[in-house]
């Protein structure tokens, strides 16, 4: 391996912790949720009461872990990320229409994915809490809740598969996985995929 | 960073807009679901038990679903009856057949339309056992312990109530309660005991499995359990 291949630090430890708490919870919730939901799988797996408990407690652990990471982590890096996701410049807007323009640390698609993931997390948590509590108190039982929880699952499954493809399989983008596992990416890769960020990174480093 | 000038806070707008769309879906999800029902029910037919889009979900309360063995399965009719009855699977199939197409409503909010049921009306089963005058209700006991629920004799005599052993032209599958389950379309599905093994004639309705967890004894669709 070339030792002089420069690396850029892309994600802070806290950002990565948020990502992996979310990812781990999503996978457990998806697996148990599918076993609760798909008739053929329900029959195969059985153990519905146990799966239901795992599903519910994983959801609780997910929220607690997120709060914990935010509480003890580097909140400044999270605030910076939020600001980055919020702002769409002209290149971002153009990128959504026709890929080309140079991108920042997060490209416009990644920003959209972050936003959708955030909204879905909130909606999953609300509908899930209603499903759980509605079993105990009829005033919180709405016929639509389960329908919405289902549709969130369908859409997030599609997003998840796309996310996996781009981060694990697609040859040109899969290097990004290193960024979320180890925190850094190669500079030459960053220059191609996140040109504005790579240029700014170098400028900031040279200035300091 | 020179682009900061034309950067717009679209992120938060997208977040709030999408969140609002999601939250208001409590108002529009059901009408939308009805509009898409013809499409989703086709999906359900195509995917069968693979993906319950507009179709069934299987709820159980125990570790694994009961297994039906036609050689050993028996349906007992006991309690306040003149002549207790034990029926085998063939005996059940030999009773007068009834067919119906009805809609199945689950209390959790999902619905399956146009389910084709074949089975036997309770009058024919009760005629074999001859309930005593004191009998007011039937307690249905499932092979899936401790699941049980009950109907009054009046409810069991409603014209579209039956003990079903076929669904959509095929013998009931394990997931749907083989070999026989109670069907009462006017009530939520938890009243329709699956994997039925015993009918007990009783003088008053006992608290069934879900009633013990706070669900209504009379589970009329749209008029119970907090709905309507």
Residue of A nearest to B25 (CA): A148
Q: What percent of chain B has pLDDT over 90?
A: 69
Q: Which of B3, B15, B214 sits opposite A90 (nearest CB)?
A: B3
Q: What's residue B6's pLDDT?
A: 83
Q: What's residue B111's pLDDT?
A: 86
Q: What's residue B158's pLDDT?
A: 96
| Dist. CA A193–CA A187, nearest whole Å | 10
Q: What percent of chain B has pLDDT over 70?
A: 90
CATH class of residue range B75-213: alpha beta
Here the ipTM equals 0.90
Residue A113 in tokens: 């994915």
| Dist. CA B213–CA A75, nearest whole Å | 43
Chain B residues with CB under 8 Å of A139 CB are 226
Q: What's residue A138's pLDDT?
A: 78
Mutation choice for B interface testing from A38, A117, A143 by most B CBs within 10 A: A143
| Global confidence as pTM | 0.82
CB distance A88–B10 less than 8 Å?
yes
In whole angstroms, how far apart are CA A22 and each of A116, B200, B205?
13, 50, 47
Whether residue A124 contacts residue A149, with contact meaning beta carbons closer than 8 Å, is answered with yes
Q: What are phi and psi of B93, to 5 degrees?
A: -65, -25
The per-residue pLDDT for range B114-150, each reduced to its tens digit, is: 899 999 999 999 999 999 999 999 999 999 999 999 9
Pick B21 or A42 by higher pLDDT.
B21
Q: CATH 3.90.420.10: which residues of chain B?
A: 75-213
Residue B160 in tokens: 């579209």
The per-residue pLDDT for range A22-76, each reduced to its tens digit, is: 999 999 999 999 988 887 788 788 888 899 999 999 999 999 999 999 999 999 9
Running DSSP on this structure, what letter comes out for residue B143? S
């Amino acid at each position: 391996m070339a030792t002089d291949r420069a690396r850029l630090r892309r994600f802070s430890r806290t950002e990565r912790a948020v990502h992996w708490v979310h990812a781990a919870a999503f996978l457990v919730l998806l697996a148990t949720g599918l076993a609760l939901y798909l008739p053929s799988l329900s029959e195969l797996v059985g153990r519905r009461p146990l799966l239901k408990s795992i599903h519910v407690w994983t959801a609780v652990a997910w929220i607690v872990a997120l709060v914990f990471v935010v509480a003890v982590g580097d909140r400044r890096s999270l605030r910076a990320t939020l600001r980055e996701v919020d702002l769409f410049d002209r290149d971002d807007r153009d990128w959504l229409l026709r890929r080309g323009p140079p991108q920042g640390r997060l490209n416009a698609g990644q920003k959209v994915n972050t936003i959708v993931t955030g909204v879905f997390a909130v909606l999953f948590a609300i509908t899930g809490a209603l499903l759980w509590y509605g079993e105990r108190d009829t005033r919180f039982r709405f016929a639509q809740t389960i329908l919405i929880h289902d549709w969130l699952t369908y859409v997030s499954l599609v997003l998840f598969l796309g996310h996996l493809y781009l981060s694990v399989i697609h040859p040109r983008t899969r290097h990004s996985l290193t960024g979320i596992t180890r925190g850094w990416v190669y500079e030459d890769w960053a220059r191609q995929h996140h040109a504005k960020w790579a240029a700014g990174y170098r400028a900031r480093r040279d200035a300091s | 960073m020179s682009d900061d000038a034309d950067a717009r806070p679209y992120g938060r707008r997208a977040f709030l807009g999408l969140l609002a769309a999601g939250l208001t879906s409590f108002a529009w999800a059901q009408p939308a679901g009805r509009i898409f029902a013809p499409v989703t029910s086709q999906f359900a037919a195509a995917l069968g038990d693979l993906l319950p889009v507009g179709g069934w979900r299987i709820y159980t309360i125990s570790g694994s679903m009961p297994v039906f063995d036609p050689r050993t399965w028996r349906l007992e009719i006991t309690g306040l009856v003149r002549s207790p009855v034990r029926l085998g699977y063939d005996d059940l199939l030999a009773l007068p057949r009834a067919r119906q197409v009805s809609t199945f409503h689950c209390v959790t909010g999902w619905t399956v339309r146009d389910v084709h049921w074949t089975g036997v009306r309770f009058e024919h089963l009760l005629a074999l056992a001859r309930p005593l005058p004191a009998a007011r209700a039937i307690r249905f006991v499932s092979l899936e312990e401790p699941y049980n629920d009950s109907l009054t004799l009046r409810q069991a005599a409603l014209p579209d109530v039956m003990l079903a052993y076929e669904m959509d032209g095929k013998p009931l599958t394990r997931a749907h309660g083989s070999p026989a389950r109670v069907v009462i379309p006017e009530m939520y599905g938890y009243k329709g005991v699956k994997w039925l093994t015993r009918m007990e004639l009783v003088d008053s309705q006992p608290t069934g499995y879900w009633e013990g967890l706070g669900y209504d004894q009379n589970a009329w669709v749209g008029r119970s359990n907090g709905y309507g």
